Amino acid sequence: MSNDKVASVADIQVSVVTDYIAQQSIEAEQQFVFSYTITVTNNSAETVQLLSRYWLITDANGDSSTVTGEGVIGQQPFIKTDQSFTYSSGCVLKSPLGNMQGHYQMRTDSAELIQVDIPVFRLAKPNILN
């Protein structure tokens, strides 16, 4: 795993681990595949529900795209106090280096909507920065 990032907002912690998937990447076609595993930990006093996500994905060429939608991996999970939810997903870049950032919108038991920022994290083919 090539990258670890952690951010904490409103007692919700988001940690990210990334990996380069060489077996699925086709460098000659500028297709670089990355996976990321995110763990959302609820350290607040209330259960939260992850309602939606927003991603800004940027490659080393300066091309960017956004991804928005309900929940993550087809789910809108409830995360109880002192519990975590972990999922994995991926993206394809046209360069061997890029980054992602974004946020989740969540709702607390008391119906408060909160935005939890996802820290900027790097997607990098191993040894690309050496």
Query: What domains lie within the chain, and their CATH numbers?
Result: 3-124 (2.60.40.1470)
| Residues contacting residue 42 through CB under 8 Å, at least 6 positions apart | 11, 12, 48, 79, 80, 81, 82, 83, 84
Tell me the average pLDDT across 51-72: 96
Mean pLDDT of 54-82: 96
Beta strand residue intervals within 60-126, DSSP E: 64-70, 78-79, 84-93, 97-108, 113-124
End-to-end C-alpha distance for the chain, whole angstroms? 17
* Highest-pLDDT range among 1-10, 52-61, 112-121: 52-61
If pLDDT is split at 50, 70 and 90, which confidence band does 3 have? Answer: very low
Query: Residue 112 CB: number of other CB atoms within 10 A?
Result: 11
Q: Which amino acid is at 3?
A: N
**Burial grade of 92 (CB within 10 A; 0-12, 13-18, 19 or more):** middle
Q: Taking the CB of residue 127, how many other CB atoms lie within 10 A of it?
A: 9
In the chain, the percentage of residues whose pLDDT exceeds 70 is: 91
Please tell me the pTM assigned to this model. 0.88
Q: Taking 60 as the threshold, does the pLDDT of residue 73 lie above it?
A: yes
